[in-house]
Structure 1
Amino acid sequence: MSTLTGHTEAIAASRVIGTSVYNTEGKSIGSVEDIMLDKTSNGIMFAVIGFGGFLGVGEKYHAIPWASLDYDEDRGGYVVPFSKEQLQAAPAYSINELAGADGQAARDESYSYYRVEPYWH
């Protein structure tokens, strides 16, 4: 079975990690650093996207709802439907904060900020 854009529903996390992410203007905004899984619902909580920094110093991490990422074969990466301004103003975390409180605080804030329908409802 495939998604609305014709991609398959299943993908190995190892293929996703390290993939570039672009905003609506086509600018590279970072890459997928990790995927946070919700063990109780068997779903993906969010993608961890690294923005900025150099060699890991000063890098901010954003929790982007997984359903917001759409793979673009021409770019060889994911595109998120958010402007540069939206992404710059988005909640940012340290890698430890993303996993704190079972990831729910970052998840809830992310879905609310990006106005994405929560998968857990």
Structure 2
Amino acid sequence: MPTVSRHTDAIAASRVIGTNVYNTAGESIGSIEDVMLDKTSNGIMFAVIGFGGFLGIGEKYHAIPWSLLDYEVDKGGYVVPFTKEQLEAAPVYSINELTGADGTRARDASYDYYKVDPYW
């Protein structure tokens, strides 16, 4: 069933991974590298957005609450409501840090930084 914004309620993770992500100015900030799932609540903890680096070397990752990503058909990607400066100041992680402590450290820091009400 479509949502109010004509998006569907469900999407396969395989369709999300690799999708480009843009900031509010329309600048590409990276792509979705993975999606972290909360096993206990059956929800999505956050999207892992990869940015920077070249051929995977030096790449850093943002943990962005899923609710902040809005798919825009005309861009063929997700848009997050942040400026370049806000994203540059956001917490960054290595892949290992994102999964440490079952992802809760990155999740908590992300929801705090972006001022999103926790779903848990």
- The TM-score, its normalising length taken from structure 2, stands at 0.98
Deviations 1:31-70 (A, max 9, x none): 0000000000000000000011100111100000000000
Identity of aligned residues (%): 78
- Tell me which stretches of 4 or more aligned residues in structure 1 moved more than 3 Å: none
Match of 1:80 in 2: 80
Q: Please give the root-mean-square deviation of Cα atoms over the aligned residues, in Å.
A: 0.6
What is the rounded CA distance, in whole Å, between the counterparts of 1:2 and 1:117 in structure 2? 24
- Specify the SS of the correspondent of 1:15: helix
Match of 1:29 in 2: 29
Q: Give structure 1 stretches of 5+ with no counterpart.
A: none
Q: How many residues align?
A: 120
Q: Give structure 2 stretches of 5+ with no counterpart.
A: none
Amino acid corresponding to residue 63 of structure 1 in structure 2 = A
What is the rounded CA distance, in whole Å, between the counterparts of 1:83 and 1:3 in structure 2? 26
Match of 2:56 in 1: 56
- Specify the SS of the correspondent of 2:47: strand
Q: Matches of residues 95-106 of structure 1 in structure 2 within 5 Å?
A: 95-106=95-106
